Structure 1
Amino acid sequence: MIGKGKSISHTRASMSYGWNQEKDAKIVYSQNIIGETPKEVAEEFRFIQELNQNCEKNTLSFVISPTIDDGKYLQKKDLSKICEDFMKEMNLKDRQAIAFVHQDKSHKHIHLYVNRIDFQGQAYKDSFIGKRSQQAAEKVAEKMQLTTVKQVQWEKEHNLLAIRTEIKRRHDLTIRQFKPRTFPAYIKAMETNGVKVIPSINKANKLQGFRFEFDNYNLKGSEIHRSMTGGNIGKSLASEKSMSSFLKENTQLNLAGKTVELSTGMVKAIAKQIIKKTISKGLDMGM
């Protein structure tokens, strides 16, 4: 569950968004108010806010977002409990407040509005409110046995490691199995092995590298493995060729519906590799 918070001055406009019926908004929590429209509630807020003329951003706006999977099973009483516990964690329990759930999309989330001014005219200290909102949401999630941000991050990192490993495995398999010698051949061979390769083309219409799509992930080659940068893939393709032969087949490439050239950086990296192999081969032959 994610919590976000900030101080705002446009109470009525923001509350009208929270109460937006097009988003299938429903009130899930209220405290110390009786109004039945955004205008009425904003007026109730304003009446208390007049006790403190120095505070301009006098309403606190929070968005509390359970994960999509958790949201599917949360009923009104659960959402109300989330708001109640969140208010306690933020030390806001004795103020005017109202909360709405938006459920027009798969990601159900809560908009919570709290009067920053209490009944004694004191303004709530909003320093580091964004960070404190997230910490409060984490504590509420743990208490209600909901998914926390830390759990989501761990799962994402764990899944990403598996995805990177699998894309690299398919890349290695493609090089061994198909032995492509041009970039278009490599792209086609990777697609055969279930990975979509997307050329990264700069404004000068030069190929800089590739992105890889697999299992709903889209990653740069360098994010997967250093051997999958554009230059290093080019080195693999050129391993058995002379520089002139490789450039002849790869200078003008038809990629992503356009004709592109290799970037200077890629040409230099590939040329360096070919020269190195040529020298090494010559030494092995006793030259």
Structure 2
Amino acid sequence: MIGKGKSISHTWASMQYGWNQEKDAEVVYSKNLAGETPKEITEEFKFVQEQNARCTNNTLSFVLSPTIEEGKELNAKALNEITEKFLKEMKLEGHQAIGFVHRDRQHTHVHVYVNRIDFNGRAYNDSFIGKRSQQAAENVARDIGLTTVREVQQEKLDKIKLIRYEIKMIHEKVMVEHRPKNFDQYMKFMERNNVKVIPSINKSNQLQGFRFEFKGHSLKGSEVHRSMSGSRLAIGIAEHAGRGFVKNKDNTVSLLGKATELSGNIAMKVAKKVIVKTIKKGMGIEIG
């Protein structure tokens, strides 16, 4: 579960917007309140807030988001328990508060609005409230057996790691089996394996690399693996193509059916590789 929090000043506008995002939003938590609409609740907040006119951001806004799968299983009673435990972790259990759930999207989440001013006129300390709300949500999730934010992050990292590995395996298969002699061939063979390769063109209209789209993910070549950076990919294809891959005069290559200039970095690395290869070949002939 992920928790987000901040202090706000426009209580009614924010609450009304959040409440009206979904028709008949279900209230899952209410504390020290009698009102049933955003306007009525704002008026009750305001009555207490008048005791501390110096505080302008006098309402706290939180969003509690379980994982997609867990959110589908949580009923109003369970969400009430989550909200209550969260506010206790934040030491806000004695303040006026309202919580309502949104199920209009795939991801169930609870909006919680809390009066920052208590019944004695004291303002709640909102220092580092974003970080503290994350930690409080994590403590609650751990306590009741929900997935914590760290577990969500680790799951995402593991998924990205697998995606990177799959793209790299497809890339290596294409380079070995098909030995593409230009970028267009490489892109075509990759797409046959469900990887879409998109050229990255800089502001100077030069090719500086590629992005790889696979299973809903989009990664730069260097993010997939260092061997798939723009320069290393160009070098690999140049080795298959031999002479004529790069037009030395203007450092252009064929891409999507037209001449495209390489960025200075890629052009320089390809040129160095060609020079080294030529020298090694010359040395080999001399030794023979």
Q: Is the 8 A contact 2:252 2:259 kept in 1?
A: no
1:197 equivalent in alignment to 2:197:
yes
Gaps of at least 5 residues in structure 2 are none
Matched residue of 1:88: which SS? helix
Aligned to 2:273: 273
Distance 1:165 1:88, change over 3 A: same
| Larger mean Cα displacement after TM superposition, 246-255 or 73-82 | 246-255
Cα distance in structure 1, aligned partners of 2:241 and 2:190:
21
| CA RMSD between the two structures | 1.8
Distance 1:232 1:52, change over 3 A: same
Matched residue of 2:286: which SS? coil
Offset, 1:200: 0.7
Q: Is the 8 A contact 1:3 1:136 kept in 2?
A: yes
- Could you tell me which amino acid in structure 2 is paired with residue 52 of structure 1? N
Aligned to 1:168: 168
- Could you tell me which amino acid in structure 1 is paired with residue 80 of structure 2? S
Cα distance in structure 1, aligned partners of 2:21 and 2:262:
53
- Could you tell me which amino acid in structure 2 is paired with residue 19 of structure 1? W
- Could you tell me which amino acid in structure 2 is paired with residue 4 of structure 1? K
Aligned pair count reads 285
- Could you tell me which amino acid in structure 1 is paired with residue 114 of structure 2? V
TM-score, normalising length: structure 2: 0.94
- Could you tell me which amino acid in structure 1 is paired with residue 44 of structure 2? E
Aligned to 2:64: 64
- Could you tell me which amino acid in structure 2 is paired with residue 266 of structure 1? I
1:142-162: CA deviations, max 9, x gaps?
Answer: 112111111111111112112
Cα distance in structure 1, aligned partners of 2:231 and 2:23:
48
Cα distance in structure 1, aligned partners of 2:277 and 2:24:
65
1:180 equivalent in alignment to 2:195:
no
Q: Is the 8 A contact 1:212 1:218 kept in 2?
A: yes
Aligned to 2:283: 283
Aligned to 1:264: 264
Offset, 1:242: 4.6
1:80-103: CA deviations, max 9, x gaps?
Answer: 111100010000011110011111
Cα distance in structure 1, aligned partners of 2:3 and 2:22:
23
Percent pairwise identity: 58
- Could you tell me which amino acid in structure 2 is paired with residue 111 of structure 1? H
1:251 equivalent in alignment to 2:252:
yes
TM-score, normalising length: structure 1: 0.94
Gaps of at least 5 residues in structure 1 are none
1:247-281: CA deviations, max 9, x gaps?
Answer: 249935343x8763222221111111111111111
Pairing 1:125-140 to 2, within 5 Å after superposition: 125-140=125-140
1:113-143: CA deviations, max 9, x gaps?
Answer: 0111111111111111100000000011111
Offset, 1:203: 2.5
Offset, 1:174: 0.6
